[in-house]
Amino acid sequence: LGLVSCVAGILATTILAFVIRNLGFTFKAGVLSTPVPVGFSLAFSTWTVTALTLSLITFGGNLPKALEAAALLANHEISAEVVDLRCLRPLDMKTVLASIKKTHRGIVIDEAWKTGSLAGEIVAQIAEEAFYDLDGPPVRITTPHIPLPAADIMEDIVLPTSDRIVETVKRSLGS
């Protein structure tokens, strides 16, 4: 993966790389293999000529869902920039805030519960650092506060999906 190739040369440091089990089978070659230095993110834009724009901020297994949702939103004349947080520590808020300044709306997608999640930290930093750039409150799409089911089919029901992302975006835009 792109991040692993960037840290492979660092021999004096212990590196932990967590791979989402389904992530490796969801991307076309090249998307994840783009080298990105540690601490930096990637932004994928689906810009169209529309008045409504927003930032979808996510990481890991939610990236394919966010990219799919951005494509679905384009059908509704809503353009989105998807920010892929490839490294969570250090967290690249510079890319997140630059995206918020362009789009004026932020939606953070995280598979964790809403309380105590990374999404909460990202939303807090957006509110602190880019409050006057926002046209609406930042929104979190997370897993409900229930134990995560072991069965894949049940897991798919509770985790964020591209359809749920689209519904949440439309609701936050009032459409």
pLDDT digit string, tens, across residues 111-157 = 999 999 999 999 999 999 999 999 999 999 999 999 888 888 888 88
Residues sharing a CB contact under 8 Å with residue 48, sequence separation 6 or more, in sequence order: 74, 77, 79
Distance from chain centroid for Cα 145: 20
pLDDT (average), residues 31-57: 65
CA distance 127 to 105: 11
pLDDT (average), residues 69-88: 90
CA distance 6 to 144: 35
Evaluate if residue 102 carries a pLDDT over 70: yes
Evaluate if residue 5 carries a pLDDT over 70: no
Provide the pLDDT confidence category of residue 30 given band limits of 50, 70 and 90.
Answer: very low
Global confidence as pTM: 0.79
Mean pLDDT rounded to a whole number for the chain: 82
What is the reported pLDDT for 29? 43
Question: Among candidates 79, 94, 81, which has minimal Cα distance to 41?
Answer: 94
Question: Among candidates 28, 31, 27, 35, which has minimal Cα distance to 5?
Answer: 35
What is the reported pLDDT for 3? 52
Are the C-beta atoms of residues 48 and 79 closer than 8 Å to each other? yes
Tokens of 2: 């792109």
